[in-house]
Amino acid sequence: MTAVGVDLRRVYGAYPTGVTVVAGLVGGNPAGLAASSFVPVSLDPPLVSVCVAHTSTTWPLLRALPRIGISVLASHQGHVGRRLGSREADRFAGVDWRSTPDGCVQVEGAAAWYDCSIERQFRSGDHDIIVFRVHALDAQAGVPPLIYHGGTFRDLAGGPIGERASAP
């Protein structure tokens, strides 16, 4: 056991997640960031959440938008996760993207997309928990997701284990 604060990144990294791109059109150009903190929250109403660091320079631009896209990256899109998680100025260079009529930016070829607006924001330590209302969504059957674990991008190795596990 290690004292809290010493090894947070290493131990948080033991929890596998997907990788999303949270993005919108700012002045006609795509702006966005990679986020592994995406969590589906509620079925009725449909809500999802992402935690954003107070140090983010992109989030203050996005949070002013009426609609924000969230793309769940596919396993072949590690380069997109790296690019959107960097501090490069033109993060969408070399990334295939499209915008929806209401201004969401979606990554082409992603495993799933959400078209969202901000419902609520909660200050929590050095991050804000952003709760989004989902207005439209879609997923591509058979497109496997990108996995983030231990600071490394991975794909889903092997097939399902045992029976399907559905929440009640």
Ligand X SMILES: Cc1cc2nc3c(=O)[nH]c(=O)nc-3n(C[C@H](O)[C@H](O)[C@H](O)COP(=O)(O)O)c2cc1C
- Which residues here bind ligand X, judged by CB under 6 A? 19, 33-37, 51-53, 56-59, 81, 84-85, 87, 148
Least distance (Å) from ligand X to the CB of residue 91? 7
Q: Which residue is nearest to ligand X (CB)?
A: 85
Q: Where are the beta strands (DSSP E) in the chain?
A: 17-18, 20-26, 29-35, 39-42, 47-53, 68-72, 97-99, 105-107, 112-124, 127-139, 147-149, 152-154
Least distance (Å) from ligand X to the CB of residue 37? 3
Q: Which is nearer to ligand X, 77 or 104 (CB)?
A: 77
Least distance (Å) from ligand X to the CB of residue 52? 4
Q: Which is nearer to ligand X, 17 or 117 (CB)?
A: 17
Least distance (Å) from ligand X to the CB of residue 163? 31
Which token pair is 69? 């896209």
Which are the contacts of 99, defined by CB distance < 8 A and separation ≥ 6?
Answer: 25, 30, 105, 106
The residues with which 59 forms a beta bridge, in sequence order, are none
